[in-house]
Amino acid sequence: MTTAQLTAAPREEAEHVFPLPHAPGAVATVRRRVRVVLAEWNLTPEVVADVLLVVSELVTNALVHALPPATLRLAPSQVGRSRAVHIEVTDRGPVAPTGLSASAVDPDEHGRGLGIVTALSSRFGVRVHAGGTTRWAEVPFGVV
């Protein structure tokens, strides 16, 4: 970890909430908006790239596999001495199956998203609640 990663900290400790349009191009639009927030938080380019990738995977998962509406929340987080960017996407729950079995999906095209989230996150999880499903992850960026 570099000195820049250890001293980087979000300047504004506010949570940012982004409604997710259920439309083509939504992931790119959300990534651009998140990039603006992360630039204000003074994070290293490596951390920004990791956060954007995790955001892309969680948002894509919600848009492809869940019922709208969906919402992205982004906030700084601290557990003990570890600092992270907390990312969560809440949707209305899974879409009813369309008749394609899981074996019909090309494994070269799908199925790696949550593996990517796992690899880039210090913590991650899923909460099922009355309003739907929330998938969350924390991308580390330093210690206090």
Task: Match domain 18-93+110-143 to its CATH number in 3.10.129.10, 3.30.70.270, 3.30.70.20, 3.30.565.10.
Answer: 3.30.565.10
pLDDT of residue 70: 96
* Cα–Cα distance, 34 to 21 (Å, whole number): 14
Half-sphere exposure of 128 (CA within 13 A, CB side): 3
pLDDT of residue 12: 53
pLDDT of residue 99: 55
pLDDT of residue 106: 43
What DSSP line would sit under 51-82, residue for residue? HHHHHHHHHHHHHHHBPSPEEEEEEEEEETTE
pLDDT of residue 8: 45
pLDDT of residue 9: 44
Residue 24's identity, in one-letter code, is P
Instruction: For the chain, 144 residues long, give each residue's pLDDT as a single digit of tens.
Output: 333 333 444 445 589 999 999 888 999 999 999 999 999 999 999 999 999 999 999 999 999 999 999 999 999 999 889 999 999 999 999 987 665 544 444 444 456 778 899 999 999 999 999 989 999 999 999 887
pLDDT of residue 113: 78
pLDDT of residue 13: 58
What is the residue extent of each domain of the chain? 18-93+110-143
The pTM is what?
Answer: 0.82
CA 142 to chain centre: 18
